Structure 1
């Protein structure tokens, strides 16, 4: 899988891209300030990576910049950097694949932002900034069952002794 991200102005809107068969698809979608292009079927890159260094979603330099934002004194090992880059690539691949399956499920040959958005909301509890739905999401308070209340009372009772 080859992933490319190119910065674009926020006003750029790409036309929907037709999906071929799910095993060999090519997708381009505009989200915020970047365009993600996914092409399946590319040969693995160096060191077993599925994409060459220049076409990764997250480069080593960007990863190091993110780490420096959190802690300026922190330095990642080479193996840790490679692992995090691979995790990012795998995450993008799985999200795009699931979004393509959602597009196919709704009998469309076009991948839309709402497909990616639905997968991220349902599977990862993530929301895309700027692409929120019109509805206001209510705060979901977990309902406590009577059995849970009894267990908690028993735990509190035994810890007091």
Structure 2
């Protein structure tokens, strides 16, 4: 399965799902690769295999604080965390696609995982419907206070 990513500078994501007849044990992605632009001699550069390059990370840091400089170890750790996050999101989204009995990954699979597990709402990819508002449960003490307020306002 190839998922084109027109809104980013990634060439494509290559995601391999098991066939629809396979059980849930085989429901995770068997390969998740971000293909970068070929480097010298036609090979992909090491930074091309990462979603977030060191240069992009440094640009993000400069946007927040132009005087901040990250240590090399911190950069490596942040890049690893970003790669792990992407891999876990894609794996979970593939499981959702398999649960739908589909062998194609859709945006709604990624959306559902990000919304439920990370409480992330991606602007521009959501439906036009309003997000459900979770009404807080009223406790017994609150009900008693409200009854007392109503009682005193009636007098």
Shorter-chain TM band: 0.5 to 0.7
Equivalent residue for 2:111, pick from 117, 128, 133: 117
Unaligned runs of 5+ in 1: 1-5, 27-37, 41-50, 150-161
> Structure 1 148/76 Cα, relative in aligned 2: closer, same or farther at 3 Å?
farther
SS of aligned partner of 2:96: helix
Q: Which residue of 1 aligns with 2:30?
A: 25
Equivalent residue for 1:126, pick from 112, 120, 126: 120
Q: Report the aligned-residue RMSD.
A: 3.2
Q: Distance in 1 between matches of 2:100 and 2:28?
A: 18
Give 1:52 shift: 2.8
Q: Distance in 2 between matches of 1:52 and 1:7?
A: 20
Q: Distance in 2 between matches of 1:121 and 1:82?
A: 27
Q: Distance in 2 between matches of 1:19 and 1:119?
A: 17
Give 1:122 shift: 0.4
TM-score by length of 1: 0.61
Per-residue CA deviations over 1:76-133 (Å, capped at 9, x if unaligned) read: 1111111100000000000000000000011111111110000000000112221112
TM-score by length of 2: 0.64
Give 1:144 shift: 4.8
Give 1:139 shift: 3.7
Larger CA Rg, structure 1 vs 2? 2
SS of aligned partner of 1:143: coil
1:72 and 2:66 matched:
yes
Give 1:7 shift: 7.2
Structure with higher RCO (Cα < 8 A, 6+ apart): 1
